[in-house]
Copies of this chain bind each other. A is one copy, B any other.
Amino acid sequence: MTLTVTPQPSSPLTVESRNSGPKQPVGLAEKFSRVRQATQALCAGLSAEDCMVQSMPDASPVKWHLAHTTWFFETFILAPHLAEYRSIDPEYRNLFNSYYNAVGDRPLRDKRGVFSRPSLDDVYAFRRYVDDAMLKLLEGDVSAELSDLVVLGLQHEQQHQELIVTDMKHGLWSNSLRPPFCESPSKAPNGNVPRLKWHRYPAGNFEIGHQGQGFSFDNETPRHTTYLQDFQLASRLITNVEYMQFILDDGYRRPDLWLSEGWETVRTPGWEAPLYWERRGENWWDYTCAGMRVVSLNEPVCHVSYFEADAFARWAEARLATEAEWEVAAAQAPVEGNFLENGTFHPVATSDKDAGEGPVQIFGDVWEWTQSAYSPYPGFKPAAGALGEYNGKFMCNQYVLRGGSCATSQSHMRASYRNFFPAHARWQFSGIRLAKD
């Protein structure tokens, strides 16, 4: 984790809430409090029992997310930087470690669901205890190094905010009662999705990677030159109705459309639609954070794996974009869209009135699978110590997704952001944008 924050009075860090009006510099303590409170606001409607659910090894209980994000501040900031700090419970050090070998042992990932103790109340007490210590630490002079660590901790917490939504969605769906995660219905789709068009980009050398202003993760650096051939990018995301055509055309039954490993993945569990889709009579229904409903035709298709995105693209005689192509196209776009702050927790349909010069729906709604395997950028150097385990060690057999989703904080997103998941993963809000040569 190489922090590349360049503190500048006029370049506020990116953790402000969305509609903060005329920009006022916000202090670090205030930023800290806002992000921490936002996490708890997400969980306000969940019971202690809900927060225990671990419905598959890839997902974690919400209680674990609440504790682990707190552990991060304790382990990497309070323990080394606040002399008088004493842990509320020394056992938490191992209990809430995720994957940092340098920090010590930890429970098996797929056993996080057995932790009834500490209770949710105890975890909230742990949060308050750490928050109090953090605010005390931030009262005084804050070194650049410390400030960078705090910002990293907040970015880390925002990542777990997204996982709280996706893991809890999966957990509640795993219950045959299919209870909703939230009451807010997703926005009604409007009438017209514009026809899919192609935006052309000429070949040449381009710079990609983080610019050096504001925060970024180490995997976005160093900024570097890459050569791109001519390419075209679709003007919008693929919709549910377009994806249904793929299904109707036997998309899930034709091996010629699939990567070999994708074909195995599809056949073994018998996939025949995106995750959360369910056929009831004539209709496809899907499970949303607001419960079961008929699939909305104009919304972006969501909860597809890399394998499905790739097969769809082949069927459509197109391909997925590389991450460099995507970043070049996204560089001009404002970081606006349907983000976590909207509270819909679901992608929404675009319409003619949203159309601009370039592609729309670049940010928010759904993460866009790229065809790029997750690899180090030329010259990439992970940080020394435990924080070096944050990103680099996962650069194998995963694929890059770009743009953020309806479960991502707007203040967390930027054009150079690299998310990554294995090719079979479907429980994130992941969708499809096509590209062509």
Known: A229-B224, A262-B396. A115 touches B175 (CB 8 A): yes
Q: Which residues of B sit under 8 angstroms from A255, Cβ to Cβ?
A: 101
**Stretch of A43-51, A192-200, A338-346 contacting B (4+ beta carbons < 8 Å):** A43-51
By the criterion CB–CB under 8 Å, are B177 and A119 in contact? no
Query: CA separation between A250 and B9, bound complex, in Å?
Result: 47
A226 interface residue per 8 A CB criterion: yes
By the criterion CB–CB under 8 Å, are A397 and B371 in contact? no
Q: Which residues of B sit under 8 angstroms from A166, Cβ to Cβ?
A: none
Docked complex: A210-244 residues within 8 A CB-CB of B:
224-229
Could you write out 27 A-B pairs with CB less than 8 Å apart? Answer: A47-B48, A48-B48, A48-B49, A49-B49, A49-B119, A52-B53, A52-B116, A91-B177, A95-B176, A101-B256, A115-B175, A116-B172, A117-B177, A225-B227, A225-B229, A226-B226, A228-B378, A229-B378, A256-B388, A256-B389, A259-B393, A260-B393, A261-B394, A307-B396, A371-B375, A373-B373, A378-B437
Q: Which residues of B sit under 8 angstroms from A111, Cβ to Cβ?
A: 55, 174
The interface of chain A, by Cβ under 8 A from chain B, is: 47-55, 91, 94-95, 99, 101-102, 107, 111, 113-120, 171-172, 174-177, 179, 203, 205, 224-229, 255-256, 258-263, 306-307, 319, 371-373, 375-376, 378-379, 388-389, 393-397, 423, 437
Chain B CB count within 10 A is highest, among A54, A113, A306, for A113
Smallest CB-CB separation from A115: which chain B residue? B175
Which of B48, B177, B307 touches A95 (beta carbons < 8 Å)? B177
By the criterion CB–CB under 8 Å, are A50 and B116 in contact? yes
Known: A53-B116, A176-B94. A226 touches B227 (CB 8 A): yes
Query: CA separation between A255 and B392, bound complex, in Å?
Result: 13
Query: CA separation between A259 and B420, bound complex, in Å?
Result: 15
Query: CA separation between A135 and B261, bound complex, in Å?
Result: 37
Known: A114-B53, A114-B171, A394-B259. A375 touches B378 (CB 8 A): no
Q: Which residues of B sit under 8 angstroms from A393, Cβ to Cβ?
A: 258-260, 263
The oligomer's copy count stands at 4
CB distance from A114 to the nearest CB of B (A): 5
Q: Which residues of B sit under 8 angstroms from A95, Cβ to Cβ?
A: 176-177
CB distance from A57 to the nearest CB of B (A): 12
Known: A50-B116, A117-B175, A117-B177. A102 touches B260 (CB 8 A): no
CB distance from A233 to the nearest CB of B (A): 14
Query: CA separation between A71 and B316, bound complex, in Å?
Result: 33
Query: CA separation between A35 and B313, bound complex, in Å?
Result: 39
Q: Which residues of B sit under 8 angstroms from A397, Cβ to Cβ?
A: 261, 397, 423
Smallest CB-CB separation from A52: which chain B residue? B52
Chain B CB count within 10 A is highest, among A319, A373, A423, for A373
By the criterion CB–CB under 8 Å, are B373 and A47 in contact? no
